Every structure is written in structure tokens, then in C-alpha cells.
Amino acid sequence: MYKLVLIFILLLSSSTLSQDYLSPGSYTIEYGGLYKMAASETNKFFSNRWREQQEELYEGGVTTFGDFSREQRSINNFMQDWRFGSPWWTRSWWDSLTIKNGGAVANHSIRIRHGKTFPVFETPVFTIFNSFEFKWKSIKASVDFDADRAFAFGEASMPPRAGWQFQVEPAVSIASRALLGDIVRSIKSVGVVVSAIHTVRSIPIVSIAMTAYYESTENAFVFGVEMRFLQW
């Protein structure tokens, strides 16, 4: 008898604890406008200061190169984990009960918005937002295996029902402090970012982002690949 009870509990818990469902305490924080600029600059300041401290310890012979490399990875992971508010593992399920409007829809995450981002100056090449964000226009393309027209480019590119959606945009970083003095030296890095999202039945499953750029200040080429599972 106890075996039947155990099997029943396992079957019941498998649907409840499966990663297809978000925990009730899951939420993200979306910053916009001046809030976005303040959050970005604050995170950048603490991140740079953290890295400088580790570089000082390494150059002073206090830590080894292995310790320095591990600490740099820890900084990257920490900044990524806390990018949209506190990570899910630091929150309890009753956090959702404190959100206004009664929390969130069942099995959906909560998004808390601080400010709103909107364009203030737009050109065919780039757009400037109220958060003082300078964003280059991207080129979009999609491959939909379920559509009559499998390939689409530009404005005709829509999220596919089953396939991939690609986005290519230039990655140009400009140092605003040096912009007024020397335009050439104000360009910190030049490169390209290629991102792709794979969808199945109109549901985004996984995203892949590939970055390649030249860092003028360090005279070095940097390559990176990032993959995320969008459904868990």
C-alpha cells in the first residue's frame, strides 16, 4: 500500500516541481529612462572598482594568476546574475504576495518596471533614447520552416512559428569624455553582435549571441558566445 502512495506522490510532485513552471517568487526588474542610466552607471562603477582591486592584488603579488582569473569570472557571473534584480534563488515564494496588483498570473514571472525607455532622436542608422542610450539599428532575418515563405529579411522578418530569427547589429562603443577632444580616440571598440532565437510552436526555446570586436584601448580582439535557455 505504501508503495502506491509513494508512486502517487511522485507523480503529483513531478508536474509541480518540473522546470516548465516558474516559482511564484520569480520576478525581474526592468529599468527605463533615468532609472536605467542610474542603474547602468552604478553597476559599471562597482564592477570597474571590483576589477581594479583584483588587478592591484595580482600586480602586487598577493594573488596568483589563477586566483585572478577565477575572480574575474566570478565578477562576470555576479553582474549577470544581478542584472535584473536579485536572483531567483535569493527570493522566497511569498515575495510575489508583496507585489502590487496581486502578484502575477499563475506560472508567470513578475516584471517590476522603474521608468520607461522611449526614443528621443531617431535616424535610419541609430537611435538615442531618454536614458542617454545610443543604439545602432540592427538587420533582422528569419527562417520559418512552417511558413510558405521560409526566408524573410528586414521589416518583413517576424518571429517564426518554428525556426530561427537572427539579428545583426554593429557593436561600437564610444567614450563620451574623449568625444569632444579627439573623435578617433573616442572610439573604444568596434565589432559586431549576431544573435539568434530558436522557436518551436511560436515559443522561444533558446537564444545564442555571438560577439566579436576590436578593443582599441587594449589593442586586442575579443570573441564571445553566450547561450540561454528561455524556457525552464
Q: Could you read off the pLDDT of 122-133 as tens digits, one per residue? A: 888 888 888 877
Task: Provide the residue count of the chain.
Answer: 232
pLDDT at 98: 53
The answer to whether the predicted template modeling score (pTM) of the entire model surpasses 0.85 is no
Q: Give residue 232's pLDDT band: very low, low, confident or very high (50, 70, 90).
A: low
Average pLDDT over residues 210-214: 87
Query: Of 174, 188, 183, 178, whose CA–CA distance to 216 is shortest?
Result: 188
Average pLDDT over residues 185-193: 76
Query: Which are the contacts of 178, defined by CB distance < 8 A and separation ≥ 6?
Result: 185, 186
For every residue of 93-124, DSSP letters joined together read GGGGGGSGGGS--TT--EEEEES---EEEE-S
180: left (phi over 0), alpha (psi -120 to 50) or beta: alpha
CB count, 10 Å around CB of 60?
8
Q: At residue 15, does pLDDT exceed 50?
A: no
> At residue 12, does pLDDT exceed 50?
no
Helices vs strands, H then E, count in the chain: 4, 11
Which pLDDT does position 93 carry in this prediction? 62
Sequence spans of domains, the chain: 17-133, 138-232
Determine the average pLDDT of the residues in 175-200. Answer: 71
Cβ proximity of 146 and 160 under 8 Å: yes
Task: Report the pLDDT averaged over residues 143-172.
Answer: 82
Strongest mean pLDDT among 148-157, 174-183, 201-210: 201-210
Residue 133, SS3 per DSSP: coil
Pairing of strands 27-31, 110-114: parallel
**Mean pLDDT taken over the chain:** 75
Q: Within the chain, where are the H helices?
A: 2-17, 33-59, 65-81, 176-179
**Whether the Cβ atoms of residue 206 and residue 228 lie closer than 8 Å to each other:** yes
Judged against a pLDDT cut of 50, whether residue 27 lies above it is answered with yes
Q: What is the pLDDT of residue 177?
A: 52
From the list 133, 126, 120, 127, the residue with the least C-alpha distance to 40 is 133
